[in-house]
Amino acid sequence: MDSSAKNTILKAYLEKTGLKSTAQRDFIAETFFKTNTHISLDELLKKVKRKNSRIGYATVYRTMKLLSECGLALARQFGDGQTRYENLPDDGHHDHIICIKCSKIAEFQNQKIEQLQIEAAKKLGFTVVNHKLELYGYCPDCA
Amino acid sequence: MDSSAKNTILKAYLEKTGLKSTAQRDFIAETFFKTNTHISLDELLKKVKRKNSRIGYATVYRTMKLLSECGLALARQFGDGQTRYENLPDDGHHDHIICIKCSKIAEFQNQKIEQLQIEAAKKLGFTVVNHKLELYGYCPDCA
DNA sequence: AATGAAGATGAAAATCATTATCATAATCTA
DNA sequence: TAGATTATGATAATGATTTTCATCTTCATT
């Protein structure tokens, strides 16, 4: 999904819930859509402030909550105490591996694992809709 | 693994890191080992205080961090703002599959998935210590 | 058993992320 | 353009977790 499609969704959500479209919201959303990491609110705020230093962090918090509600951002907790936001993946699902020492996060995809998950679920009579897989360990630098 | 085996591990870890064995630590650990839910620190503190009201919450926090470090407790965040701790499963590692309609939780084990995880991590230079896998979908009754 | 050094404890204060408050400003409908 | 409603941003408040520090325990050594 490209940025303009996301904007359409956002606008529709705002309208549906009786919220207003504002320059700050648009700019924060736009900035977030351009990221490709698991960005923390702190980091996003910094990015936003670079262009518009008058935007307060409460607005960034509020906007990300909004994006999360309308499905345009995924909120994740990796155990370092901060919520991190991720864009919808363009290229299908991926999982995470997190360094328990330095908190570095890497991503990986493995079709075989996905397949085995579906099979394991099937054995129990379940149908899988979604999943969350996080590996915790040491990154190359901290090993 | 039974409680006494866990105690042995804990003692070994304390010795290795030059920490001391204390009545509070033992009691908190023992209390935790008896739980079978994803207990929050708040809830654990309450349990502990019932028997020994003089134990402070800082000690509970510190002890759970310890247990987490030596692998005797699993820290999890389900997005409600609190860290919850889970005991090691008695019968080897298991993962969860959760029904998104009725919230039923089933458990499964799959050695192959574990193996593939380790391989996927290795490709990125990571060493896996621990993992969390949750499947979300529909159970047989809600399908 | 007594000593002494290193840790541990608990109460309270500090910190960090997040949320709420509130006066002011921007948006939008009519 | 007015009027009503919502948004903003600075600040204060909250809630979970960590740190601080004076005091107490543990444990290896006498």
Q: What is the DSSP string of B102-116?
A: T--EEEE--HHHHHH
**Per-residue pLDDT tens over the stretch B55-92:** 999 999 999 999 998 889 989 887 778 899 998 876 66
Strand C at less than 7 A from CB of B83? no
Amino acid symbol at B82: Q
Q: Are A50 and A56 in contact (CB under 8 A)?
A: no
pLDDT band at A8 (very low <50, low <70, confident <90, very high): very high
**Sheet of A39-40, strand order:** A39-40, A83-87, A73-77
Is the CB of A106 less than 8 angstroms away from the CB of B100? Answer: no
Collapsed DSSP state (helix, strand, coil) of residue B2: coil
> What is the radius of gyration, based on Cα positions, of chain A?
17
In this complex, do A126 and B110 lie within 8 Å of one another by their Cβ atoms? no
- Strand C nucleotides below 7 A of a protein CB? 6-12, 16-21, 26-28
pLDDT confidence of A125, banded at 50, 70, 90?
very high
Name every chain A residue with its beta carbon within 8 A of the beta carbon of B102. Answer: none
**Cα radius of gyration (chain B):** 17
| The three-state (H, E, C) secondary structure of chain A, written as one string | CCHHHHHHHHHHHHHHCCCCCCHHHHHHHHHHHHCCCCEEHHHHHHHHHHHCCCCCHHHHHHHHHHHHHCCCEEEEECCCCCEEEEECCCCCCCEEEEECCCCCEEEECCHHHHHHHHHHHHHCCCEEEEEEEEEEEECCCCC
Under-70 pLDDT residues of chain B: 90-92
Binary contact (B126, A99; C-beta < 8 A): yes
What is the distance between the alpha carbons of residues B137 and A131, in angstroms, rounded to a whole number? 8
Rounded-to-integer distance, Cα A132 and Cα B13, Å:
31
Q: What is the H or E stretch that residue B66 is in?
A: helix B57-69
- Write down the pLDDT at residue B94: 79
Q: Name B8's Cβ contacts closer than 8 Å, sequence gap at least 6.
A: none
pTM: 0.79
Q: Are the CB atoms for B132 and A134 separated by under 8 Å?
A: yes
What are the beta bridge partners of residue B40? B84
Q: What is the pLDDT of residue B92?
A: 65
Q: Which of A11-15, A99-103, B50-54, B133-137 shows the lowest per-residue confidence on average (mean pLDDT)?
A: A99-103
With an 8 Å Cβ cutoff, is A142 touching chain B? no
A31 touches strand D (CB under 7 A): no
